[in-house]
Amino acid sequence: MARIIRNYMQLGRVFSAMLTAGIAIIGAYSTGHVLTPSEFMAFMWLGFWFHAFGGSYNELCDIELDSMVDELNKKPLVSGAVSKIQAMSFILMTVFLGALVLGFMFPNLFAILFWVLSYSTAAYYDARGKYTPYMFELSLGLCFLLWALFGALAVSENLHSSLTINTLAVSLVIFVFAVYINWGNAMKDAPTDRTLKVPTRAVVWGYNHDKKLGFWSPHVLYALLIKLVLITAFSLPLLARYFYFDFIPTLASKPVLFSLDIYSLLFILYVIPSQIWIVVRARGRHDREWWTDYIVADIFLTWFAFSFMVVSLVGVLWSLALFCLPFVWFLATTTMIYGKPMRVGL
């Protein structure tokens, strides 16, 4: 039984499920609503099953690609530990278990609509997004943007009351965040994607792992463009606060140093330098394992800033808790699945 559970946990890639849950949680906080314990747990449940849906359906759609990569031969579908019929049954179960709690905790028409749109976009990304020009880069980000808006709508009485500049910023940041992750994934998987004629930017622009990247490489310039858009999205609450946008609400904040609040200081001292540094680091010649570590580093750095997008409402300690949640979960679940906290090449 334990082995079966581990197989399905691996199939759903649940070791990163709390990143998905955290997106909706931060989306909810961005409205100015303070979550109750039951609401917080409901978002963890919904995030877990939504992530398991996306992960397991992706595994089913990518079985041909995964079977071509030696490092992935122990995946449940590739190894035969889980059959395609069993995988499809698990996928349907993830939808049912999510819908059950959604209807009980957040019976809001707009929340239900965006929940459905999130699942539909995730399914499209898994099934077709990888093979449609530009959609590999954009559709996962759109899925997470909708999921952040779902979190905001789930705790709001209507569409208007859910909309703050912070909600817009959170949604845009997570969209661009995912675009950059998929840029890294495309660079990592360029050789197999080229074989399968997957039209990622890495393939279209001729990237191979033996190619040395310079600052003026189209791949690095593209990465820089994405990060500049991300920095702009992070800056939206500051622009609204310091330039007095009065057409949309902004979460209140208190100055802590030279009239700057905690988020402003974080943006100046951490967001800008960390995002530029991660792009600069992409220069050079890199193999698949390096790109895997690079993606993890980018997730770690950017998720820290993302967790603090609601610091004016929840405070520093709870923002740190939101940052730590997915990594503590990752260590616990990878230990359960693989017998140790992390596995090389995961």
Sign, Cα dihedral of 6, 8, 11, 15: negative
Query: Would you say residue 247 has pLDDT above 80?
Result: no
Residue 143 CA, distance from chain mean position: 9
The answer as to whether 346 is a domain residue is: no
The answer as to whether 295 is a domain residue is: yes
Task: Return d(Cα 219, Cα 107) in angstroms, integer.
Answer: 44
Which pLDDT does position 182 carry in this prediction? 92
Of residues 39 and 65, more confidence is placed in 39
Stated length of the chain: 346
Query: Would you say residue 45 has pLDDT above 80?
Result: yes
Residue 188's Cβ-count burial label (10 Å; 0-12, 13-18, 19+) is buried
Query: Would you say residue 69 has pLDDT above 70?
Result: no
Nearest CA among 38, 39, 19, 20 for reference residue 29: 39
- Using one digit for the tens of pLDDT, what is the confidence trace for 211-225? 999 989 999 999 999
Residue 215's Cβ-count burial label (10 Å; 0-12, 13-18, 19+) is exposed
Out of 82-96, 154-168, 174-188, the most confident range is 174-188
C-beta separation of 25 from 63 below 8 A: no
Query: Would you say residue 174 has pLDDT above 50?
Result: yes
| Domain CATH code at residue 150 | 1.10.357.140
C-beta separation of 130 from 136 below 8 A: yes
The answer as to whether 203 is a domain residue is: yes
Query: Would you say residue 73 has pLDDT above 70?
Result: no
Residue 7's Cβ-count burial label (10 Å; 0-12, 13-18, 19+) is buried
The answer as to whether 254 is a domain residue is: yes
Sign, Cα dihedral of 170, 178, 127, 81: negative
Of residues 281 and 246, more confidence is placed in 281
- Using one digit for the tens of pLDDT, what is the confidence trace for 4-44? 788 788 888 899 999 999 999 999 999 999 999 999 999 99
The answer as to whether 345 is a domain residue is: no
Write down the mean pLDDT value for the chain.
Answer: 88
The answer as to whether 232 is a domain residue is: yes
Interior angle at CA 183, CA 179 and CA 188, nearest 5: 145
Query: Would you say residue 345 has pLDDT above 60?
Result: no
Which pLDDT does position 346 carry in this prediction? 41
Cβ-Cβ contacts under 8 Å for 24 (sequence gap 6 or more): 43, 46, 47, 147, 148, 150, 151, 154
Query: Would you say residue 2 has pLDDT above 80?
Result: no
- Using one digit for the tens of pLDDT, what is the confidence trace for 298-324? 999 999 999 999 999 999 999 999 999
Angle at which helices 84-105 and 37-61 cross, to 10°: 160
Cβ-Cβ contacts under 8 Å for 240 (sequence gap 6 or more): 165, 248, 250
C-beta separation of 286 from 305 below 8 A: no
Number of Cβ atoms within 10 Å of the Cβ of 247: 6
Task: Return d(Cα 338, Cα 10) in angstroms, integer.
Answer: 9
Look up the domain containing 181 and give its range. Answer: 2-338
Number of domains in the chain: 1
The answer as to whether 35 is a domain residue is: yes
The answer as to whether 286 is a domain residue is: yes
Query: Would you say residue 197 has pLDDT above 60?
Result: yes
